[in-house]
Copies of this chain bind each other. A is one copy, B any other.
Protein backbone atom coordinates (compact mmCIF):
# COMPACT_ATOMS: atom_id res chain seq x y z
CA UNK A 1 0.00 0.00 0.00
CA UNK A 2 2.98 2.34 0.37
CA UNK A 3 2.91 5.02 -2.25
CA UNK A 4 -0.88 5.29 -2.36
CA UNK A 5 -2.15 8.85 -2.59
CA UNK A 6 -3.69 9.52 0.80
CA UNK A 7 -4.21 13.25 0.24
CA UNK A 8 -8.02 12.91 0.31
CA UNK A 9 -7.97 10.55 3.28
CA UNK A 10 -9.04 12.29 6.48
CA UNK A 11 -8.96 11.04 10.06
CA UNK A 12 -11.96 12.15 12.06
CA UNK A 13 -10.51 12.69 15.52
CA UNK A 14 -13.37 10.77 17.16
CA UNK A 15 -11.65 7.67 15.76
CA UNK A 16 -8.77 8.36 18.18
CA UNK A 17 -10.89 10.04 20.79
CA UNK A 18 -8.53 9.47 23.72
CA UNK A 19 -5.75 11.38 21.93
CA UNK A 20 -5.23 15.12 22.39
CA UNK A 21 -5.64 17.28 19.31
CA UNK A 22 -1.85 17.43 18.91
CA UNK A 23 -1.59 13.64 19.20
CA UNK A 24 -4.41 13.06 16.72
CA UNK A 25 -2.84 15.45 14.23
CA UNK A 26 0.53 13.80 14.71
CA UNK A 27 -1.04 10.38 14.08
CA UNK A 28 -2.72 11.54 10.88
CA UNK A 29 0.42 13.24 9.61
CA UNK A 30 2.64 10.27 10.46
CA UNK A 31 0.33 8.01 8.43
CA UNK A 32 0.55 10.34 5.43
CA UNK A 33 -3.10 11.39 5.52
CA UNK A 34 -4.21 14.70 4.07
CA UNK A 35 -6.71 16.00 6.59
CA UNK A 36 -8.42 15.65 9.94
CA UNK A 37 -12.05 16.11 10.93
CA UNK A 38 -12.38 17.96 14.22
CA UNK A 39 -14.89 18.18 17.05
CA UNK A 40 -16.08 21.33 18.75
CA UNK A 41 -14.62 20.53 22.16
CA UNK A 42 -11.15 20.62 20.58
CA UNK A 43 -11.80 24.00 19.02
CA UNK A 44 -13.19 25.28 22.30
CA UNK A 45 -10.22 23.94 24.28
CA UNK A 46 -7.56 25.64 22.15
CA UNK A 47 -9.51 28.43 20.50
CA UNK A 48 -10.25 28.25 16.80
CA UNK A 49 -7.09 30.03 15.67
CA UNK A 50 -4.69 27.86 17.64
CA UNK A 51 -6.56 24.65 16.74
CA UNK A 52 -6.32 25.63 13.08
CA UNK A 53 -2.58 26.26 13.47
CA UNK A 54 -1.97 22.88 15.13
CA UNK A 55 -3.51 21.28 12.05
CA UNK A 56 -1.87 23.45 9.40
CA UNK A 57 1.57 23.30 11.05
CA UNK A 58 1.45 19.54 10.46
CA UNK A 59 0.68 20.10 6.78
CA UNK A 60 -2.91 18.96 7.13
CA UNK A 61 -6.31 20.43 6.29
CA UNK A 62 -9.50 20.45 8.35
CA UNK A 63 -12.08 18.44 6.41
CA UNK A 64 -15.09 19.15 8.64
CA UNK A 65 -16.22 20.12 12.11
CA UNK A 66 -18.55 17.96 14.23
CA UNK A 67 -21.12 18.95 15.21
CA UNK A 68 -24.10 21.19 15.25
CA UNK A 69 -27.68 20.10 15.43
CA UNK A 70 -30.01 18.84 18.18
CA UNK A 71 -32.83 20.88 16.72
CA UNK A 72 -35.92 18.93 17.81
CA UNK A 73 -36.84 20.70 21.06
CA UNK A 74 -40.49 21.74 21.11
CA UNK A 75 -40.37 24.34 23.90
CA UNK A 76 -39.28 27.96 23.56
CA UNK A 77 -36.32 27.64 25.92
CA UNK A 78 -35.03 24.55 24.12
CA UNK A 79 -35.46 26.18 20.73
CA UNK A 80 -33.62 29.33 21.79
CA UNK A 81 -30.79 27.28 23.31
CA UNK A 82 -30.43 25.23 20.11
CA UNK A 83 -30.26 28.36 17.94
CA UNK A 84 -27.67 29.98 20.23
CA UNK A 85 -25.47 26.92 20.38
CA UNK A 86 -25.59 26.36 16.64
CA UNK A 87 -24.65 29.97 15.95
CA UNK A 88 -21.59 29.47 18.16
CA UNK A 89 -20.81 26.27 16.24
CA UNK A 90 -21.06 28.15 12.94
CA UNK A 91 -18.64 30.80 14.19
CA UNK A 92 -16.21 28.12 15.38
CA UNK A 93 -16.39 26.41 12.00
CA UNK A 94 -15.45 29.56 10.15
CA UNK A 95 -12.63 30.16 12.62
CA UNK A 96 -11.04 26.75 12.34
CA UNK A 97 -10.69 26.80 8.58
CA UNK A 98 -13.40 24.58 7.11
CA UNK A 99 -16.76 25.35 5.56
CA UNK A 100 -18.42 22.08 6.58
CA UNK A 101 -20.30 21.86 9.89
CA UNK A 102 -21.88 18.42 10.32
CA UNK A 103 -25.33 18.44 11.93
CA UNK A 104 -26.79 15.57 13.95
CA UNK A 105 -30.31 16.87 14.25
CA UNK A 106 -31.54 15.11 17.41
CA UNK A 107 -34.17 12.50 18.18
CA UNK A 108 -37.63 12.59 19.66
CA UNK A 109 -37.57 14.90 22.66
CA UNK A 110 -39.42 12.34 24.85
CA UNK A 111 -36.12 11.47 26.45
CA UNK A 112 -34.28 11.85 29.67
CA UNK A 113 -30.99 10.50 28.32
CA UNK A 114 -30.24 9.05 24.87
CA UNK A 115 -30.78 5.31 24.89
CA UNK A 116 -32.65 5.20 28.19
CA UNK A 117 -36.26 5.02 27.02
CA UNK A 118 -39.07 7.56 27.16
CA UNK A 119 -39.65 9.72 30.22
CA UNK A 120 -42.42 8.47 32.50
CA UNK A 121 -44.33 11.70 31.82
CA UNK A 122 -43.93 11.60 28.02
CA UNK A 123 -47.09 12.83 26.35
CA UNK A 124 -48.52 11.77 22.99
CA UNK A 125 -46.89 14.76 21.26
CA UNK A 126 -43.47 13.54 22.35
CA UNK A 127 -43.79 10.58 19.97
CA UNK A 128 -44.88 12.72 17.02
CA UNK A 129 -42.06 12.02 14.58
CA UNK A 130 -43.68 14.01 11.79
CA UNK A 131 -43.78 17.10 14.01
CA UNK A 132 -40.19 16.61 15.20
CA UNK A 133 -39.05 16.49 11.58
CA UNK A 134 -41.01 19.65 10.81
CA UNK A 135 -39.24 21.42 13.69
CA UNK A 136 -35.88 20.45 12.20
CA UNK A 137 -36.91 22.11 8.94
CA UNK A 138 -37.96 25.25 10.84
CA UNK A 139 -34.64 25.48 12.73
CA UNK A 140 -32.60 25.00 9.55
CA UNK A 141 -34.51 27.87 7.95
CA UNK A 142 -33.69 30.05 10.95
CA UNK A 143 -29.99 29.15 10.93
CA UNK A 144 -29.32 29.22 7.18
CA UNK A 145 -28.92 33.01 6.83
CA UNK A 146 -26.42 33.05 9.72
CA UNK A 147 -24.48 30.17 8.16
CA UNK A 148 -24.47 31.88 4.76
CA UNK A 149 -23.22 35.12 6.30
CA UNK A 150 -20.28 33.20 7.82
CA UNK A 151 -19.63 31.22 4.63
CA UNK A 152 -20.30 27.99 6.52
CA UNK A 153 -22.35 25.06 5.24
CA UNK A 154 -24.90 23.28 7.41
CA UNK A 155 -24.19 19.62 6.57
CA UNK A 156 -27.17 17.40 7.34
CA UNK A 157 -26.28 13.89 8.42
CA UNK A 158 -28.78 11.08 8.02
CA UNK A 159 -28.25 8.67 10.89
CA UNK A 160 -29.07 4.98 10.70
CA UNK A 161 -32.79 4.41 11.43
CA UNK A 162 -31.86 2.60 14.65
CA UNK A 163 -31.04 6.08 16.01
CA UNK A 164 -34.33 7.73 14.93
CA UNK A 165 -35.80 7.72 18.45
CA UNK A 166 -32.88 9.08 20.41
CA UNK A 167 -30.32 10.75 18.11
CA UNK A 168 -31.49 11.92 14.70
CA UNK A 169 -34.89 12.09 13.06
CA UNK A 170 -33.16 12.36 9.65
CA UNK A 171 -32.99 8.71 8.63
CA UNK A 172 -32.18 8.64 4.91
CA UNK A 173 -30.02 10.60 2.51
CA UNK A 174 -33.12 11.35 0.43
CA UNK A 175 -34.82 12.90 3.45
CA UNK A 176 -31.70 15.00 4.15
CA UNK A 177 -31.81 16.21 0.55
CA UNK A 178 -35.49 17.08 0.84
CA UNK A 179 -34.70 19.18 3.92
CA UNK A 180 -31.77 20.84 2.13
CA UNK A 181 -33.74 21.53 -1.04
CA UNK A 182 -35.10 24.99 -0.12
CA UNK A 183 -31.57 26.34 0.40
CA UNK A 184 -28.54 27.13 -1.69
CA UNK A 185 -26.20 24.15 -1.99
CA UNK A 186 -23.38 26.27 -0.58
CA UNK A 187 -25.41 26.83 2.59
CA UNK A 188 -27.05 23.45 3.27
CA UNK A 189 -25.38 20.20 2.22
CA UNK A 190 -25.34 16.54 3.19
CA UNK A 191 -22.82 13.93 4.27
CA UNK A 192 -22.78 10.45 2.81
CA UNK A 193 -21.80 8.25 5.77
CA UNK A 194 -21.59 4.60 4.79
CA UNK A 195 -22.42 3.32 8.26
CA UNK A 196 -25.73 5.12 8.28
CA UNK A 197 -26.89 4.73 4.68
CA UNK A 198 -25.35 1.53 3.25
CA UNK A 199 -28.62 -0.44 3.57
CA UNK A 200 -30.78 2.09 1.70
CA UNK A 201 -32.42 0.67 -1.46
CA UNK A 202 -32.48 4.24 -2.85
CA UNK A 203 -28.82 4.92 -2.05
CA UNK A 204 -27.50 5.06 -5.59
CA UNK A 205 -30.26 7.45 -6.69
CA UNK A 206 -29.87 9.60 -3.59
CA UNK A 207 -26.08 9.88 -4.00
CA UNK A 208 -26.55 10.83 -7.66
CA UNK A 209 -29.08 13.47 -6.66
CA UNK A 210 -26.80 14.83 -3.92
CA UNK A 211 -23.99 15.11 -6.43
CA UNK A 212 -26.11 16.70 -9.13
CA UNK A 213 -27.27 19.29 -6.62
CA UNK A 214 -23.71 20.00 -5.45
CA UNK A 215 -24.56 19.11 -1.88
CA UNK A 216 -22.04 16.36 -0.99
CA UNK A 217 -20.00 18.04 1.74
CA UNK A 218 -18.28 14.89 2.98
CA UNK A 219 -17.95 11.20 2.25
CA UNK A 220 -17.51 9.41 5.56
CA UNK A 221 -16.53 5.76 5.77
CA UNK A 222 -16.56 3.05 8.38
CA UNK A 223 -17.96 -0.46 8.37
CA UNK A 224 -21.12 -2.13 9.70
CA UNK A 225 -19.91 -4.77 12.15
CA UNK A 226 -21.92 -7.47 13.88
CA UNK A 227 -22.88 -8.32 16.53
CA UNK A 228 -23.91 -4.82 17.52
CA UNK A 229 -22.05 -3.47 20.57
CA UNK A 230 -23.90 -3.10 23.86
CA UNK A 231 -24.07 0.58 22.96
CA UNK A 232 -24.91 0.29 19.24
CA UNK A 233 -23.44 3.74 18.71
CA UNK A 234 -20.03 2.11 19.15
CA UNK A 235 -20.48 -0.78 16.72
CA UNK A 236 -18.55 0.72 13.83
CA UNK A 237 -15.56 -1.08 12.42
CA UNK A 238 -12.54 -0.31 10.27
CA UNK A 239 -13.34 -0.27 6.56
CA UNK A 240 -13.21 -3.87 5.33
CA UNK A 241 -14.04 -5.54 8.66
CA UNK A 242 -17.81 -5.69 8.15
CA UNK A 243 -20.58 -5.97 5.60
CA UNK A 244 -20.44 -2.78 3.57
CA UNK A 245 -19.68 -2.93 -0.15
CA UNK A 246 -17.17 -0.03 -0.28
CA UNK A 247 -16.18 -0.48 -3.93
CA UNK A 248 -19.78 -0.03 -5.05
CA UNK A 249 -20.70 2.88 -2.77
CA UNK A 250 -17.39 4.64 -3.46
CA UNK A 251 -18.00 4.29 -7.20
CA UNK A 252 -21.45 5.82 -6.84
CA UNK A 253 -19.90 8.77 -4.97
CA UNK A 254 -17.12 9.14 -7.54
CA UNK A 255 -19.62 9.06 -10.43
CA UNK A 256 -21.06 12.34 -9.14
CA UNK A 257 -17.68 14.02 -9.59
CA UNK A 258 -17.14 14.38 -5.84
CA UNK A 259 -13.51 15.39 -5.33
CA UNK A 260 -13.48 16.15 -1.61
CA UNK A 261 -12.14 14.34 1.41
CA UNK A 262 -13.01 10.84 2.53
CA UNK A 263 -13.24 10.94 6.28
CA UNK A 264 -12.98 7.87 8.48
CA UNK A 265 -15.03 8.17 11.66
CA UNK A 266 -15.15 5.10 13.88
CA UNK A 267 -16.81 4.81 17.28
CA UNK A 268 -15.50 1.56 18.74
CA UNK A 269 -14.01 0.75 22.14
CA UNK A 270 -11.31 -1.52 20.66
CA UNK A 271 -10.24 1.13 18.17
CA UNK A 272 -10.17 3.75 20.93
CA UNK A 273 -7.88 1.50 22.99
CA UNK A 274 -5.34 1.24 20.16
CA UNK A 275 -2.30 3.47 19.62
CA UNK A 276 -3.48 6.51 17.61
CA UNK A 277 -0.58 6.18 15.13
CA UNK A 278 -1.48 2.54 14.51
CA UNK A 279 -5.13 3.48 14.04
CA UNK A 280 -4.25 6.26 11.59
CA UNK A 281 -2.04 3.87 9.60
CA UNK A 282 -4.87 1.32 9.46
CA UNK A 283 -7.26 4.05 8.29
CA UNK A 284 -4.85 4.91 5.47
CA UNK A 285 -4.31 1.27 4.49
CA UNK A 286 -8.01 0.45 4.41
CA UNK A 287 -8.74 3.59 2.41
CA UNK A 288 -6.03 2.66 -0.07
CA UNK A 289 -7.32 -0.90 -0.41
CA UNK A 290 -11.13 -0.56 -0.37
CA UNK A 291 -11.97 3.03 -1.34
CA UNK A 292 -9.25 4.81 -3.34
CA UNK A 293 -9.23 2.38 -6.31
CA UNK A 294 -12.91 3.15 -6.86
CA UNK A 295 -12.79 6.93 -6.59
Contacts and interface: CB of A to CB of B under 8 A. Distances in A.
A117 B225 contact: yes
Given A226-B166, A227-B115, A243-B165, A171 B201 contact: yes
Oligomeric state, in copies:
2
A226 B200 CA distance: 23
Contacts of A110: 243
> Could you say which interface size class chain A belongs to?
35 or more
Contacts of A199: 129, 161, 164-165, 171
A127 B226 contact: no
Nearest to A107: B243
Interface stretch (A40-48, A147-155, A244-252, A264-272): A244-252
A292 to B, nearest CB: 16
Nearest to A232: B228
Dominant SS among interface residues on chain A: loop
A108 interface: yes
A160 interface: yes
Interface string A98-130: 000000000010100001111000001001111
Interface of A: 108, 110, 115-118, 124, 127-130, 133, 160-162, 164-166, 171-172, 174-175, 178, 198-201, 224-228, 230-232, 242-245, 247-248
6 contacts: A117-B227, A160-B162, A161-B161, A161-B199, A164-B199, A165-B243
